[in-house]
Structures are given as C-alpha cells and as structure tokens.
Structure 1
C-alpha cells in the first residue's frame, strides 16, 4: 500500500511544461540563407520521392521485391522530411520557436520513426542483394513479393513500438527548470537532459534505440557485403564480377549517404568539440540531405526507372509536337 501511495505521489509531482523553446537555429549567422537552402531541399525531396512512388505504383514491371523496398524507402524519406523541415520553416516564417509539450512528443516520435525506417529498409535491401548474389538459384524462393509484403508491415510495427516506448518514457520526467531545447527539433537527448528528476531509464532506452537502428544495421550491412565480396571473389571472369557488383552500386551509395554523414557528425562532436552552431548545421544536414539524394540516385543508377521516365516524357511531348506541327 505504501509503495502504491509513493508511486501516486511521484506521478502527481511530475511537472510538464506547456511549451518547449527550440533554439537550435536561432544563433546561426545569416540563418535566412540556411532556411532558403532547407526550403529547396524540401521541394526537391518531395517532388523526387513522389515521382519514384508514382512510377513504382503505376508500372507493373517494377512490382518486384527490390522496388517494394525502394517504395518503402521513398515513403520514409517523405515522412522524415515532413517531420523535420516544416517545423524548422515555421520558425523562419513566423518567428515562432515555441512548440507545445504534446506536439514536441509527436515531433520526436515521427522524426525517429521515419529515420529508423530508412535505416532498417537499407538492411532489407542489403539482404536482397546478398541473396541475389550469394544464393541466386534460391532468390525467387526466398525473396518474393509475398515475403516483402509481410516484412515491411512487421518492420513498421517493430519500429513504431520501440520509438513509442522511448517517447512515452519522456512523460515520466519532470521539467522544473529550463525548457530550452538545444537542437533544431524535439531531439530525445536534449529533451531528457532537461529533467530535474532521474532520467537514467531514458538514457538507457535512447542507447538501445541508437544501437537497434544505427549500430546494428551498419554491422548487418557490413556483414552482408562481406559475404557478397567473398562470393564475387569466386567468380572467374571480371566481366561477371562487375555485372554482379553493378547491381549493388545504388544500394552502396544509399548506405554511404545515410550512415556516413551521421557517423562523421557524431565523431566530430566527440573528437573536435564542435560549436553549437556547427553541431546544429551538421546534424540537420545529415538528416535532411539523404532523403533528397536517395530518389535521385535510384533514378540515375536504375535503367528501368530511367527508361520509364524517358517513355513518360516522350509520350507527354509527342502531343505538343503534333499541335505545333498543325
């Protein structure tokens, strides 16, 4: 009974602010140029990923396991971009750096959910390349549309559960002093460090999330490509090796664009002691630039999508040429 009363009193004493104040971009000199750059990134990201989604949806020849993964990646890119940039643009357009408590938790959930979805989708695409090169005769038995349709809902459920747990634990901490978030969005670490009660469980869960969606995917992808390179070394001719490796180029570029900026940013913070402005700019670019580049890389490196785009553009330009000739 005493323990119940103690827990009740603890819940009653939790202090939740009405608003948080996000100052991540406020101290950047000439920040208006950075906001214009963010708007261009947002525009390109939305257009490019929407085109990829439209092409994959309409073209039946692209209804294959690989492109189901690309479709999921494009959805994650659009989701993360919408979770990050519009809130940052609101600060610039309306000079409002305040965000309500509930909106902050929602922002935290969607940013981490869609970012983790990108990471895990890259793991699935690495698995697709591993099976295609290392076990080509069994590829269609192991990797097919049915398995992909089952895998991605499971990934969405798993990711949302872990991220929801992380966000829900924020509600158990009190904010009795500062409510100023030293970031450009409602970042988990800067938020729980504002607590005036014990936040060790938040720190531990944050480490689990980072390990699950950043460290573990990098290890799995590295091991996948280690197996791929070992399989390629057994191929006798260079022509066949290059042909097999060419199918991995787009995915390798996506992996590098997603993981390398994040890793370099965190390493720079640890080793170089970045200034707050440099940290905010580097981390924000590490999160908003990959969703813009992902669809461009797939369009430029995938013959099927390039051919379909040429076909669509030629079909649209044909009536125009006919009208002009008339």
Structure 2
C-alpha cells in the first residue's frame, strides 16, 4: 500500500487515563453531571413549550441553547462513561469518528451563535421596545435560529472535509473523544494547512462573537445612559448580565481547550479540559438562567407546588 493514501478504518481512543481506584468516583461524578445536564436542559425546554407565559421570542431563541447543551453532552459523555466502566480503550470506525467530531465542533460553535442571536433579541427589546413585536415575529425567530445553526455547521463540515482527505500513519486518538485536531494528528503529512484553517476559523468565530456581543452591549448601555430610566437600566442589567455570565464561561472553556491542543506536553490537562468543556457550560447554563430569569423561576416554583399539592 502506498504511503499517502492509506487510512485506518478502525481507530483507538485512549480516553481518560485514570487509575482503577479513581475510576468509580470519576464515573459517579460524570454520571451525575450528565444526568443533571439532561434533566435541567430538557426540563427547561419542556417547561417553555408547556407554559404559555413563556411563549415569547426571548425564550424560543433561548430553547436553542439547552438543546445544544443536551445534545453536545450526549455526543461526548456516554461514550466516556462506557470507557470508564470497561476500563479499556475504545475502538471506533473512522467514519463514526468523523461524525462525532462534526457533532463536537458544530455544537460547541452553535453555543456562540445562539448567544449572539439572543443578544440581538435583548438589543431590540431594550433599544426598540415599541417595535419589538414587529421585528421579533415568528418568522424572524425561526430565521435567526436557522442562521445560527447554519453558521455553526457549514464551516465545521468544510474543516473536517479538509482533514478527512489526509492519510494516516497511526490509529490512536490521544483524546477522550474524536475532534478535528485529534483526527489530523493521525497523519504524518504536512499539517500546516489544517492548523492554519482550524485556528483561523476559531479566531474568526471568536472575533465575530466578541464583536457582536460588545457592539450589542455598548448600544444597550448607550440607550440606558441616554434615557436615564431606572426601570430600563434594571431590565438591561438583569438580562444582559445573564448572557454575559454564560458567554464568559463558554469563552473561557473554549480558549483553554484550543490553547492546550497546541502544547503536547500538557496532554493530560488538555484531556481533562476537553471533558470539562462539555460538562461545565452545559450544567451551569440552566442554573444561571434559572436563577436570573424571573419567568423561569416562577415556572419552576409552579411545577414544585403542583407536585406538593397533588399527593395531598
């Protein structure tokens, strides 16, 4: 077989390197985190769908975020839990690995684009309140959601197509799950193009998200200062602080993973950061929104009150 055209059909994923004695507490912790992610995120989506008081553009756009968090956690954590129980490396086909990498990157990117469209919704609500229902109609909500997912998936597909063309000189994925850097590291070819394209795409995403969030918040701040309305300021601080907290958590986890991928000496730390990236934001987002958003808090209270009333 000629070097330059061969690709392994079956790949080995090393997973997390943990001792036998620590595998049980790690498994229990990750299982509880995954269970909380699924219950909290899917629960919020169901609550928004069933509560007519939450049938507003803000919450329909927000539904994209818990759905993205639940799916991204499902793409990564169940396979990792299986590896810990089996106490061995996991084998996966090359095609399945590429599909998992597509899910991993597109879902992590979608978190950025979803936060951008949510920030736009808050900008319209605060800066153009009289035109809010005209601008943020059902068609606009659907259009923004579709745009967010297209921007998140199309570039990822192009990057992975560039990676899939490479030949392989090893079949070991030195990562707890499949992603683009782990896939192109299977090759011994010149990876400069892949590294440049991958890093450039990440920088473009960061630049776009940071710029959009910054411009939106600056315009909101300008309107609040100009109008000198205490109620408007309170509304802006309450809604924007929630978005900002979620965004900073996401950006911090994202940056740490991408930076650690560039330093092979910190492989163990990178693997842990990779897992935490799909555990921390997905579990904190529903908590942040549940605590900060009055309507969601009231919906949760009604659910718990009903459960207490029914047995009596």
Where do residues 43-58 of structure 1 align in structure 2 (5 Å cutoff)?
43-58=35-50
**Change over 3 Å in CA distance of 1:28–1:228 after alignment to 2:** farther
**Change over 3 Å in CA distance of 1:53–1:239 after alignment to 2:** closer
- Work out which of the residue numbers 141, 163, 170 in structure 1 matches 2:134: 141
Match of 1:175 in 2: 168
How many equivalent residue pairs?
310
Match of 2:113 in 1: 120
**Residues of 2 paired with 1:204 and 1:28: CA distance?**
36
- Work out which of the residue numbers 51, 59, 62 in structure 2 matches 1:59: 51
CA offsets, 1:62-119, max 9 Å, x none? 1211111111111101110011101211211222322221111111011111111111
**Change over 3 Å in CA distance of 1:219–1:132 after alignment to 2:** same
Match of 2:94 in 1: 101
Deviation (angstroms), 1:143? 2.0
TM-score (norm 1): 0.86
1:296 aligns with 2:282: no
**Residues of 2 paired with 1:274 and 1:69: CA distance?**
41
Give the RMSD, CA atoms, in angstroms.
2.6
Match of 2:150 in 1: 157
1:234 aligns with 2:226: yes
1:133/1:244 contact within 8 Å kept: yes
**Change over 3 Å in CA distance of 1:204–1:130 after alignment to 2:** same
Deviation (angstroms), 1:27? 5.4
**Residues of 1 paired with 2:259 and 2:158: CA distance?**
27
**Residues of 1 paired with 2:28 and 2:129: CA distance?**
47
**Change over 3 Å in CA distance of 1:99–1:214 after alignment to 2:** farther
Structure 1 residue runs without a partner (length 5+): 1-8, 322-326
TM-score (norm 2): 0.89
Match of 1:213 in 2: 205
**Residues of 2 paired with 1:161 and 1:60: CA distance?**
34
- What SS class does the counterpart of residue 195 from structure 1 fall into? coil
**Residues of 2 paired with 1:306 and 1:234: CA distance?**
31
- What SS class does the counterpart of residue 248 from structure 1 fall into? helix
- What SS class does the counterpart of residue 222 from structure 2 fall into? helix
**Residues of 2 paired with 1:283 and 1:215: CA distance?**
22
2:217/2:240 contact within 8 Å kept: no
- What SS class does the counterpart of residue 99 from structure 1 fall into? strand
Structure 2 residue runs without a partner (length 5+): none
